[in-house]
Structure 1
Amino acid sequence: MLKHWPPLNALRGFEAAARLGSFHKAAEELHLTQSAISQQIRSLEGYLEQPLFHRSGRSVSLTDAGHDLLSTTQSLLQQLAVGIRRLEQYSKPNQLVLNTTPAFARHWLLPRLGDFHRHHPEIDLWLFTTDEAPDMASQTIDIAVRDDIAAQAECSFRVLLRDRLYPAGHPTQLALPVSQRTTLHGEREMDWSHWEVEAGIDVGQQGHGLNFSEPGLLLDAACQGLGIALVSQLLARQARTNGLLQPLTERSVRGPNWAWLIHRDSEHSPLTRDFCTWLERQLESGDNTKSTARHQG
């Protein structure tokens, strides 16, 4: 890490002059005088202790060091511009930041987002997916809806739905003899070993097969006919309705609890209230296992 950094204005002046091949044109673009651009570049050359331009009368051209620095500077300024533009999302008056898992976003929320937007077009929903549960105290998140969260300080916690798991596969897999079916495995604790303990039913699952670290990919693979999988009743609902999945048995076992965390700063916001009301209605319309258990953190 550098102890001292060259001034940002000097880097902007250098980038413009190098890109345009002229101190005069750089001055016009940045609304400065030509002498100001010249001073910025002399300052930068003094800091680097080497010339960046060959000067011949009014014409200038980059030295080898100048070419090298131009590539670095353009990348730096581009990243800085993108980062600053990204900050605009935090100042939107009607923005609601929702954190959830990639699987929930893709398989449950995305097919229903059109309905939410039709009912609440004024809300700028920012969908922020992560594999790990967020720390609500240190991240700018209004509400988290996940199956891997517990109560956190300064947040309201509520269990929304107690999920169930069942073995399923694409119709093409179910048409195969049991011995020829591929078994799809996930990395979470509630996988086939959980099924064997809770249900005690052999549906042809094998200890080998294809393995997935992300539940959404596991469900995608099952829907595409790659094998049989232990799937979430909640997340697989759309695929089952569309005929992409069929259960191997009507037996199901205990699954994870879906819950929300709402940061106390957002708890009484109309945006949060509208989203939570919509979310509860959507969950109730498709599953009657909703829990009313509550805990205030």
Structure 2
Amino acid sequence: MDWKEIPSLASLRAFEALARHGSLSAAARELNVTHAAVSQHLRQLEADFAEPLALREGQGMALTEAGHELAAALGEGFAMIAEGVARMRARREQRPVVVALTPSFAESWLMPRMGGFWAAHPEVEVRLVPGIALSDLRRDGIDLAIRFGGGTWPGVEAEMLTANRFAVVAAPGYTKARSLEDLGKLTAHDWFFSTGASEQRLWGAVVGVDFQTVGAREMASNGMVVSAVRAGLGLSIQALALIEPDLQSGQLIALHEGDAAGLGYYIVTRPEPLSPGAQIFRRWLRRAAG
């Protein structure tokens, strides 16, 4: 298609509206432009085609034979465009909401709560994509991500979901100590981390443990780490948001709780409108986080 051979779309839109309404003023109101602007578009088209397309008739405008022919073609063409746009919007609204997040957050925080979402919104399909690597939301087709950090990632919008308080945890039978002071020398204990959980190493500095020196046993997932600690094999540093159920049930005890300087879990989205399903899921996340 050679766009140089086609009059401006603004002129064609103005004429199509004029043809439907039979009035310059009504066409101008629909397009939110002035009466003079619609008249100017009409004159430009008539100059381009070298023949009149509409003539004044009383209070309105009557189409000439050429005007009727152009109006029919434009009506059909714009209807096809509208239909294609509607199909694309419906496709966006109906496709699953794709959510990227860390495996530990999925296992410990999100999945215990997802039953509530499914019960409240059975019409919204959510596809979870757990992973350690930082997703490119646009390239990977991600609607929404839940990331850990300070909320300053370029090219995206970040909203705090849950502030990042953390705890040093152990099984109740691991030690009689109920605080770090009671526990004694931190370097004398086995520590467990999940692969890629950089936040756990940051918290180590807060409680006075240099894990570059002490070392720790790494597990493939945070679920495995928590299982090892529940079994009484050692200590771990965990986000309170991820281990609340274990603390409430008594499977784990907190020997220390702390705050890590603005770090937390954030809802991350592209700087553009979310699909209806993604908006519903984001609102639910906010409520679930309290």
TM-score with structure 2 setting the length: 0.56
Residues 131 and 189 of structure 1, relative CA distance in 2, 3 Å threshold: closer
1:244 and 2:245 matched: no
Partner of 1:278: 284
Equivalent-residue separation in structure 1 for 2:100 and 2:199 (angstroms): 22
| Uncovered stretches (5+) of structure 1, i.e. residues with no partner | 1-89, 285-297
Q: How far is 1:111 from its partner? A: 0.6
Residues 133 and 166 of structure 1, relative CA distance in 2, 3 Å threshold: same
Give RMSD over aligned pairs. Answer: 3.1
1:220 and 2:227 matched: yes
Q: How far is 1:140 from its partner? A: 0.9
| Uncovered stretches (5+) of structure 2, i.e. residues with no partner | 1-90, 178-182
1:208-237: CA deviation from partner (whole Å, max 9, x where unpaired): 552336444323322332211111111111
Residues 193 and 94 of structure 1, relative CA distance in 2, 3 Å threshold: closer
Equivalent-residue separation in structure 2 for 1:124 and 1:143 (angstroms): 13
Residues 92 and 273 of structure 1, relative CA distance in 2, 3 Å threshold: closer
Partner of 1:118: 119
What residue identity is the alignment partner of 1:228? Answer: L
Equivalent-residue separation in structure 2 for 1:194 and 1:275 (angstroms): 30
Residues 227 and 273 of structure 1, relative CA distance in 2, 3 Å threshold: same
Q: How far is 1:191 from its partner? A: 3.6
Higher helix share: 2
Equivalent-residue separation in structure 1 for 2:201 and 2:159 (angstroms): 28
Asked if the contact 1:104/1:216 (under 8 Å) is kept, the reply is no
Map 1:105-144 to 2 at 5 A: 105-144=106-145
Partner of 1:269: 275
Residues 257 and 193 of structure 1, relative CA distance in 2, 3 Å threshold: closer
1:184 and 2:192 matched: yes
What residue identity is the alignment partner of 2:240? Answer: Q
Q: What SS class does the counterpart of residue 252 from structure 1 fall into?
A: strand
Equivalent-residue separation in structure 1 for 2:251 and 2:97 (angstroms): 33
Q: How far is 1:193 from its partner? A: 6.8
Asked if the contact 2:203/2:237 (under 8 Å) is kept, the reply is no
Equivalent-residue separation in structure 2 for 1:208 and 1:198 (angstroms): 16
Residues 92 and 231 of structure 1, relative CA distance in 2, 3 Å threshold: same
Residues 139 and 245 of structure 1, relative CA distance in 2, 3 Å threshold: same
Equivalent-residue separation in structure 2 for 1:217 and 1:199 (angstroms): 23
Asked if the contact 1:183/1:229 (under 8 Å) is kept, the reply is yes
Q: How far is 1:241 from its partner? A: 1.5
1:72-131: CA deviation from partner (whole Å, max 9, x where unpaired): xxxxxxxxxxxxxxxxxx988141111111001111111111100000000111111111
Q: How far is 1:186 from its partner? A: 5.2
Asked if the contact 2:158/2:269 (under 8 Å) is kept, the reply is yes
1:245-277: CA deviation from partner (whole Å, max 9, x where unpaired): 10113x413173211222345x34221121111
Equivalent-residue separation in structure 1 for 2:217 and 2:201 (angstroms): 13
Q: What SS class does the counterpart of residue 248 from structure 1 fall into?
A: strand
Q: What SS class does the counterpart of residue 173 from structure 2 fall into?
A: helix
Partner of 1:151: 153
Matched positions, count = 188
Residues 185 and 274 of structure 1, relative CA distance in 2, 3 Å threshold: closer
Equivalent-residue separation in structure 1 for 2:247 and 2:255 (angstroms): 12
Asked if the contact 1:136/1:152 (under 8 Å) is kept, the reply is no
Equivalent-residue separation in structure 1 for 2:95 and 2:176 (angstroms): 50
Partner of 1:102: 103
1:8-42: CA deviation from partner (whole Å, max 9, x where unpaired): xxxxxxxxxxxxxxxxxxxxxxxxxxxxxxxxxxx
What residue identity is the alignment partner of 2:190? Answer: T
Residues 123 and 185 of structure 1, relative CA distance in 2, 3 Å threshold: closer
Partner of 1:61: none
